[in-house]
């Protein structure tokens, strides 16, 4: 099931542009190897077209992910490598932590967004890691019994949900380059930002 928008995304712009500048082509071998690993991991995804023509907003092997072991509240476009990292994070960090703290696993991941061709609000307005498809804004989770954990509601306080979210953020710092939380600034009052960019910042 590899034929889809991805191929069109490569071919159509070239046709429309009268074969002028070819669109950026992902490293085929590395991309294919990554996709094979996604298949192996059982991640539910579809190949996605390059989402924007802006160079700064190109994504390496873009995929539209619908589930990584657990369902997502909405699909999200990320680069294949970031999808792999998220999948490992959920299996190896989120699920064990939820079982240890709540005696049950997580059945849904809730997020506010993944890919977005935009600049950061701070930091000299450099391009956001969301623009490269290697970031997600994590809003919370739903446990197997329907209990919800929301970053906005549960980050602060002393309860089990707050402790879970803080422990999760600390583990995320070992896996992702940047972890921003409600402790970072007001922009992150309702989500945990995870990215795989070149900077290192842990706000757990």
- Positive or negative, the CA dihedral 98, 104, 108, 110 is negative
Rounded distance between C-alpha atoms, residue 57 and residue 172, angstroms: 24
Q: How far is the CB of 158 from Zn ion (least distance, A)?
A: 27
Q: How far is the CB of 114 from Zn ion (least distance, A)?
A: 9
Residue nearer to Zn ion on the CB measure, 112 or 167: 112
Residue 193, interface with Zn ion (CB under 5 A)?
yes
Rounded distance between C-alpha atoms, residue 33 and residue 187, angstroms: 36
Rounded distance between C-alpha atoms, residue 27 and residue 19, angstroms: 20
Q: How far is the CB of 128 from Zn ion (least distance, A)?
A: 7
Rounded distance between C-alpha atoms, residue 68 and residue 128, angstroms: 23
The binder of Zn ion chosen from 87, 137, 142, 196 (CB under 5 A): 137
Residue 196, interface with Zn ion (CB under 5 A)?
no
Token code pair at residue 128: 């956001």
Q: Residue with the closest Cβ to Zn ion?
A: 193
Report the largest interatomic distance among the alpha carbons of the chain, rounded to a whole angstrom: 61
Only one of the segments 25-33, 43-51, 114-122, 135-143 lies at the binding site for Zn ion (rule: CB under 5 A); that segment is: 135-143
Q: How far is the CB of 102 from Zn ion (least distance, A)?
A: 26
Residue nearer to Zn ion on the CB measure, 142 or 195: 195
How many residues sit in the footprint of Zn ion (CB under 5 A)? 2
Q: How far is the CB of 134 from Zn ion (least distance, A)?
A: 11
Question: Among residues 37, 85, 46, 52, which one has the least CA distance to residue 66?
Answer: 46
Binding region for Zn ion (CB under 5 A): 137, 193
């Amino acid at each position: 099931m590899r034929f889809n928008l991805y191929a069109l995304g490569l071919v159509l712009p070239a046709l429309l542009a009268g074969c002028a500048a070819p669109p950026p082509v992902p490293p085929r071998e590395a991309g294919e190897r990554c996709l094979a690993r996604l298949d192996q991991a059982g991640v539910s995804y579809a190949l996605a077209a390059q989402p924007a023509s802006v160079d700064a907003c190109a994504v390496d092997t873009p995929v539209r992910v619908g589930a990584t072991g657990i369902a997502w509240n909405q699909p999200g476009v990320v680069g294949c490598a970031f999808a792999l990292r998220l999948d490992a994070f959920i299996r190896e960090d989120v699920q064990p932590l939820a079982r240890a703290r709540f005696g049950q696993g997580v059945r849904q991941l809730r997020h506010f967004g993944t890919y977005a061709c935009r600049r950061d609000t701070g930091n000299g307005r450099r391009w956001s890691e969301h623009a490269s498809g290697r970031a997600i804004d994590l809003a919370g989770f739903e446990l197997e019994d329907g209990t919800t954990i929301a970053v906005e509601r549960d980050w602060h306080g002393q309860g089990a949900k707050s402790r879970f979210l803080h422990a999760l953020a600390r583990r995320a710092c070992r896996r992702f380059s940047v972890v921003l939380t409600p402790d970072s600034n007001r922009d992150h009052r309702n989500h945990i930002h995870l990215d795989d960019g070149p900077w290192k910042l842990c706000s757990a």
